[in-house]
Amino acid sequence: MRSPGSIRIMRCDTRRGATRRRRRILCGLLLAAATAAPLLCALPAAAVEPPSRAEAILFTADTLSYDQERRVIKANGNVEAVQGDRTLKADEITYDETRDLLIATGNVSLTEPSGEVIFASQAEITGDLKSGVIEDLRLILTDGTRAAAASGRRTGGTETELTRTVYSPCDLCAEEPTRPPLWQIKAAKVRHDQNEKIVEFSDAWMEVGGVPVFYLPYFYQPDPTVKRKTGLLVPTFGNSSDFGLVAEIPVFIALSPQADLTLTPWFTTKEGALLEAQYRRELSRGEMKFDGSLTRDSTQKTRGHLFGEARYDIDERWRSGLDIERTLDRTYLRRYGFSDQQTLTSRLYGEAFGRTDYFVANSYVFQGLKSDDDNDTIPFVAPKLDYYHFGDVDAVGGRTDVHLDLAVLTRTDGTDTRRASARAGWTLPLLGPIGDLYTLSATLWGDAYHVNDLERDGSDNRYTGFSGRLFPQLAGEWRLPFARAGETSQQIIEPIVQGVLAPTFGNPSRIPNEDSEDMEFDTTNLFALNRFAGLDQVEEGPRFSYGLSWSYFGADGERASVFSGQSYRFFEDAAIPTASGLSGNFSDVVTAVDLAPNKYLDLLYRNRIDVGEAAARRHELGAVLGSELLRVGASYVRFDEENDDGTDFEGREELGFSLSSQLNRYWRTRIAGVRDLKGGGAQRDLGIRLTYEDECFLFTFGYKRTDIEDRDIEPSDIFYVRLGFKTLGTVGGGLRQRDGG
């Protein structure tokens, strides 16, 4: 029976590349220790291997000696002591077996299982490397944060207590390493409990640039290993011309490893208090997140909102979900900065995915927030069933697609609609003798309706009953790409022609128009078989469309493309809005230009021109010019007025601009705004932001002006300052930070 003491705590290890002579000395000492092992059997086991240490200590060093009488091991030169998953390194280590104590001197470092590293000039540590006293200590946490202390005490491998401590995540200046970091915290005592995963500071003060700025008798924060922990988050403070002084004080509550709740009370000097809440939860096969708020404002009106979403994967094929968007009044979301949406959509759904098919069952509830929205006339949609099938290639190279739809729309005031639709199509691509491409297609659309109280022809002549249609179409498309390849570039010119045969009926007055009131005509749907947004309206009559595209591709990534096209209709379609650009025989000409000649310029331009009247109906321009040092962005949008077809759209013309610059490694700035050119040239939005950011600190100063008047929403000015301290959080702010400033 061998002793459980000295032999097990040593091993011959030459991994450090020691000289052959040193390896002989080390192995010789181990052999001597092994020879002495039988003499140790007579000693009590506790004196040789204390019960506090379950695993042996493994030493490597340039030289090693063992004093059998005193039971002391001395190791010198590149010493490494390993016990379990902890490693102690030093220039010299003395291990007293009787006291189970390691004394390490010179370039001492202790690596913890969590990844933390403790540096010191001298340390006295127990044999399990879990407890001890350390002098002139420096600590690097797992996220790179540094701390230094005059002395420290380690207990049980889980608790570290430091005295006269300096803590900072900031890097030291390479040119002047003795200069104080950008910010640091000094404390009389710091305690790090790895079991509780917290770092406590007592008698602490913060210094910025070496100058004390504020004092805290006590505070604590989670250690770097913690992602979620109950406690106060950093509050924010700001000022708004609409709400006055604003304070937000968030409280984070970790309900379980899978769920948490954040409560954020707001306090304002003009509108009273508000409570904001966010709940999040991870499910075994999904997740959910809900945001809401509630307040009673200065007029004693109760206001609030609830947004949320939930997803659950039933199996690999089926998924269900819920989306909620509701508010108690129409201006609350925009005034308090939660959302700029004008229509809220809530949805409950289930869907299934297949290799060639897709099915979804939806139910919708809408809430209109515009001043002229009548929610009694906005339908509740349930159920809304859609099935899509995309067939494999058949024997002749064609492919079949099917869309089945069932929808039920119910209103408190107005028409109730029930619709069943079936749309089937077959498409065959062909290659011509000169490289031209043909696409032939045939479609058959069938729709059945039942309506209650349908208003027809804009009169009081209302209809209740059944109606339907059967609408076939044949289409053919021809393309002939001409390609020219150079040494460093490639160009492609491609004319496109499409012809469609369709009957001149399809939109009888007994069929309601629930989902096709808007029609956007541009280059993206020039060759679509139905340019209406939904299923209720179809394009009647034969027509053909034509266009020409040119593309350029360079070897260094430069590109350019131009496309222009038009459509011709043999018979006018009364269902098409006059302002859409598709009414009459000849449509408007639509054009799109995409230009990126180098990495410093990206431009996209689209327009719609009424050739008959030589008038531009629509312009859209977006451009970005420059590099990170100075980047300029511009956007211009103009839509014509639409005062026919029952619409009341006054048109739109606005100019957007942005100027941003990465001034240097740390500083950047941005100016952005939107100017309403149609409304007298008023500046609608303007934002200015200046930001400094380095590895440990974030500073942002900004100003935002919004000129919007809508019921109780008035023009507002917001000034904000944000300060972000790595590992501590963000302070400062201003109302509606979520808008981006």
Instruction: Give 342-369 pLDDT, tens digit per residue.
Output: 999 999 999 999 999 999 999 999 999 9
The per-residue pLDDT for 27 is: 35
Task: Tell me what the mean pLDDT of segment 486-507 comes to.
Answer: 94
Residue reference for tokens 């089945």: 404
* pLDDT, tens digit (0-9, with 9 covering 90-100), for 502-516: 999 889 989 999 999
Task: Tell me what the mean pLDDT of segment 310-316 comes to.
Answer: 95
Task: Tell me what the mean pLDDT of segment 5-24 comes to.
Answer: 37
Examine the pLDDT at 731 and tell me if it is beyond 50: no
Residue 738 DSSP code: G
- Reduced to 3 states (helix: H, G, I; strand: E, B; else coil), residue 110 is strand
Structure tokens at 684: 């609608």
Q: Which carries the bigger pLDDT value, residue 543 or residue 723?
A: 543
Does 86 map to a domain?
Answer: yes
The closest alpha carbon to 566, from 550, 543, 595, belongs to 543
- φ, ψ dihedrals at 590, nearest 5°: -110, 140
Q: Are 141 and 125 in contact (CB under 8 A)?
A: no
Chain CA centroid to CA 178, Å: 39
Does 70 map to a domain?
Answer: yes
Q: Are 660 and 676 in contact (CB under 8 A)?
A: no
The identity of residue 362, as a single letter, is: N
The per-residue pLDDT for 502 is: 95
The closest alpha carbon to 652, from 637, 633, 668, belongs to 637
Residue 398 region by backbone torsions, left for phi larger than 0, else alpha for psi between -120 and 50, else beta: beta
Does 541 map to a domain?
Answer: no
Does 472 map to a domain?
Answer: no
Structure tokens at 382: 């349930």
Counting the structural domains of the chain, the total is 1
How far apart CA 42 and CA 2 sit, in angstroms, is 10
Examine the pLDDT at 236 and tell me if it is beyond 90: no
The identity of residue 626, as a single letter, is: G
Does 239 map to a domain?
Answer: no
The identity of residue 334, as a single letter, is: R
Does 150 map to a domain?
Answer: yes
The closest alpha carbon to 442, from 501, 493, 369, 519, belongs to 501
Q: Which domain holds residue 77?
A: 20-222
CATH number of the domain that residue 173 is part of: 2.60.450.10
Task: Tell me what the mean pLDDT of segment 639-658 comes to.
Answer: 72
Q: Are 389 and 356 in contact (CB under 8 A)?
A: yes
Examine the pLDDT at 740 and tell me if it is beyond 50: no
* pLDDT, tens digit (0-9, with 9 covering 90-100), for 589-611: 999 999 999 999 999 999 999 98
Structure tokens at 314: 């039933």
Strands (DSSP E) along 480-600, which ranges?
Answer: 482-485, 489-501, 543-554, 559-569, 589-598
Examine the pLDDT at 651 and tell me if it is beyond 50: yes
The per-residue pLDDT for 2 is: 33
Residue 586 DSSP code: B
Rounded alpha-carbon distances, angstroms, from residue 542 to 16, 118, 502, 566: 86, 81, 5, 15
Does 99 map to a domain?
Answer: yes
How far apart CA 483 and CA 289 sit, in angstroms, is 51
Cβ neighbour number for residue 729 with a 10 Å cutoff: 15
CA terminus-to-terminus distance, the chain: 77
- In angstroms, how far apart are the furthest CA atoms of the chain? 115
What is the pLDDT confidence band of residue 458, given thresholds at 50, 70 and 90? low
The per-residue pLDDT for 110 is: 87
Q: Are 409 and 381 in contact (CB under 8 A)?
A: yes
Mean pLDDT of the chain: 85
The per-residue pLDDT for 355 is: 93
With residues binned 3-state (H G I as helix, E B as strand, rest as coil), the percentages for the chain, rounded to 5, are: 5, 60, 35
How far apart CA 658 and CA 636 sit, in angstroms, is 12
How far apart CA 211 and CA 186 sit, in angstroms, is 11
How far apart CA 289 and CA 298 sit, in angstroms, is 30
How far apart CA 164 and CA 148 sit, in angstroms, is 8
Q: What's the chain's length in residues? A: 741
Examine the pLDDT at 9 and tell me if it is beyond 80: no
Examine the pLDDT at 18 and tell me if it is beyond 80: no
In the chain, what percentage of residues exceed pLDDT 70?
88
The per-residue pLDDT for 597 is: 93
* pLDDT, tens digit (0-9, with 9 covering 90-100), for 403-447: 999 999 999 998 999 999 999 999 999 999 999 999 999 999 999
How far apart CA 324 and CA 322 sit, in angstroms, is 7
What is the pLDDT confidence band of residue 696, given thresholds at 50, 70 and 90? confident
- pTM, to two decimals: 0.77
Examine the pLDDT at 565 and tell me if it is beyond 80: yes
Does 284 map to a domain?
Answer: no
How far apart CA 719 and CA 192 sit, in angstroms, is 38
The per-residue pLDDT for 391 is: 94
The per-residue pLDDT for 178 is: 81
Examine the pLDDT at 73 and tell me if it is beyond 80: yes
Please enumerate, as own/partner, the contacts of 623-632 that have beta carbons within 8 Å and a separation of 24 or more. Answer: 625/600, 625/601, 626/600, 627/599, 627/600, 628/661, 628/662, 629/661, 629/662, 630/659, 630/660, 630/661, 631/658, 631/659, 631/660, 631/661, 632/657, 632/658, 632/659
In the chain, what percentage of residues exceed pLDDT 90?
49
The per-residue pLDDT for 636 is: 95
How far apart CA 367 and CA 608 sit, in angstroms, is 33
- φ, ψ dihedrals at 45, nearest 5°: -60, -35
User: How buried is residue 107: exposed, middle or buried, by Cβ count under 10 Å (0-12/13-18/19+)?
Assistant: middle
Task: Tell me what the mean pLDDT of segment 33-55 comes to.
Answer: 35
